[in-house]
Amino acid sequence: MKAILVRQFGGPEVLKLEEVPTPKPAAGQVLVGVHAAGVNPYDTYMRAGTYAQKPALPYTPGSDAAGVIEAIGEGVKKVKPGDRVYTAKTVTGAYAEYALALEEQVHSLPAKVNFSQGAGVWVPYGTAYHALFHSAKAHASEAVLVHGASGGVGTAAVQMARAIGLTVLGTAGTQKGLELVKREGAHQVFDHSKAGYQEEIMKATGGRGVDLILEMLANVNLAHDLKLLAIHGRVIVIGNRGEVTINARELMARRGSIRAFTLWGITLAEEADIHAGLIAGLENGTLRPVVGKELPLAEAARAHKEILEPGAAGKIALIP
């Protein structure tokens, strides 16, 4: 089969399409025929060798795939050949024609969700779900600012927050992104590339501030986020690419808090809760993964460059 291999950490050019043996599922494993693989920013940090988790080389990147079960190992009960699934982590990597996964790493992909959308489920929607429900403990009566709403996690968070009744404010850095965020359910949108947009956000809340901020770029925004919080407000740090100085008095004055997590650190019970919620939302149409771009698997390097550039508009899917 064809698979992307990383033989040394480095820039996008280290992603090479190679011919490798198709794996066979052992007991408790399944073989997924990958129809689409999702590209996430952390794939690029891992490839660069700068992420907290450093895989043993060589490795095939990717945790998010969608496809069809091709074969199952001994004892597998959850799925059978022919079932449509999305993966939440894999054993051999998602950027490939086939991926080996543990039985518990595959989840039913509802019929109304296509494979490219399915490749955008686990990391983006899992993160948005954990941020809103487990970390922030969001309530329908609250107002949320999705700070970076045009990308994978942001569009997921906007759809979810809107579906459960929150007032949703979202930001993007391009006109296309702003339109997307509005279309996916934000009540109001703001351009984070424009000077003074934070004042516009405060004005839109009548000076009260927002109850929640889902923050995609904490190193740039965290200090100012604290000033946008209402009393008892919470900032949930999802993305961060550097250091930041904050004035804790801004938190003290608001009895506010900053919470943070990585999806890798969640419990099995939280993960089970997330999949139950996501599958229900995908089935009833409240969750509709937005695919901004489909690229052939061979163009994985291009996908890694583009996902870090400004102008996000949903997810990038690689098609084997």
Interface with ligand NAP (CB under 6 A): 40-42, 123-124, 127, 147-154, 171-174, 177, 192, 216-217, 220-221, 238-239, 261-263, 307, 310-312
**8 A C-beta contact, residue 146 and residue 136:** no
DSSP class per residue in 104-148 = GGEEE--TTS-HHHHTTSHHHHHHHHIIIIIIS---TT-EEEEES
CB atoms within 10 A of CB 33: 18
- Looking at the Cβ atoms of 33 and 292, the one nearer to ligand NAP is 292
| Residue with Cβ nearer ligand NAP (159 or 171) | 171
Cβ distance to ligand NAP smaller for residue 40 or 116: 40
| Closest distance of CB 266 from ligand NAP, Å | 9
Burial class (CB in 10 A: 0-12, 13-18, 19+), 39: buried
Residue nearest to ligand NAP (CB): 151
Nearer to ligand NAP, 118 or 124 (CB): 124
CB 197 → ligand NAP: shortest distance, Å? Answer: 9
Start-to-end CA distance of the chain, whole Å, equals 10
- d(C-alpha 118, C-alpha 108), whole Å: 10
Smallest gap from Cβ 223 to ligand NAP, in A, equals 12
In the bound state with ligand NAP, the residue whose beta carbon lies nearer, of 126 and 233, is: 126
Query: Least distance from C-beta 145 to ligand NAP, angstroms?
Result: 10
Measured from the CB of residue 146, what is the shortest distance to ligand NAP in angstroms? Answer: 8
Nearer to ligand NAP, 33 or 61 (CB): 61
CA-CA-CA-CA dihedral for 94, 100, 105, 106, to nearest 10:
90
Integer Rg of the chain from CA: 20
How far apart are CB 148 and ligand NAP at their closest, in Å? 3
Q: CB under 8 Å to 191, separation ≥6 — which residues? A: 171, 172, 173, 178, 197
CA–CA separation, 190 vs 170, rounded Å? 6
